[in-house]
Amino acid sequence: MSDPTALGVFGLAMVTLVAASAKMGWTTGVTYIIPWALFLGSAAQIWASTVDFKKNNYFGAIVLGAYGLFWAAVAMHWAISQGWFGALDASKADPRQLAFACIGYCIFSIFIMVAAFEANKVFAAILVLINVLLSSLALSILGINAPLFSGLAAYSELGISMLGFYAAGAVFLNSYFGRVILPMGAPMGFIKKGAAPAKS
């Protein structure tokens, strides 16, 4: 069975590039980001996750699945705020709830980051930036030093995109040629994996 990682990471790289374009001030609004969030950020990563589950690739399955669902939820948040499903009742809608979603994802992403350190250095760097992005978004949405944390979120998301494109290209080329064309960097080696439990 083929390796879906390149497609999943490419989806992450694409959606973060488009989203970062708005945060950086190169584009405006989120309406036209929604299709990229749904198809690249969500569908591509979730599909790759299902393939990794079938291959028993625990890391890829959980990581791609978790972030694919994140982008589906963010796309829905944007669509609701744009009135796609009818007029929005401001008394029943508090956009700060997205900040708490980012906090929850940041907590989970810390665990993923620990594992990423033992995958390779590129994935480790992406996860560090994801945690910077999520925490910065949460603080910005909550109105805590918004200028600082909005800028930090913009640059971290752009960094995620650039590293994501490199990672997707590296996984694709290395898998296709059966040797290292683009290095991903050796695992950090902080935590050693234990032996697989014996099957009963």
pLDDT tens-place string over residues 130-182: 999 999 999 999 999 999 999 999 999 999 999 999 999 999 999 999 999 99
pLDDT at 127 over 70: yes
- The whole-number average pLDDT for the span 100-126 is 97
**Domain ranges within the chain, ordered by starting residue:** 5-83+94-177
Residue-wise pLDDT for 94-104, tens only, equals 999 999 999 99
| Residue 160: both structure tokens together | 């995620």
What span, in angstroms and rounded, lies between the C-alpha atoms of 111 and 114?
5
CATH 1.25.40 fits 5-83+94-177, yes or no: yes
Predicted pLDDT of residue 1 = 53
Q: Flag whether the pTM goes above 0.85.
A: yes
112: number of Cβ within 10 Å:
20
What span, in angstroms and rounded, lies between the C-alpha atoms of 177 and 161?
24
Predicted pLDDT of residue 194 = 80
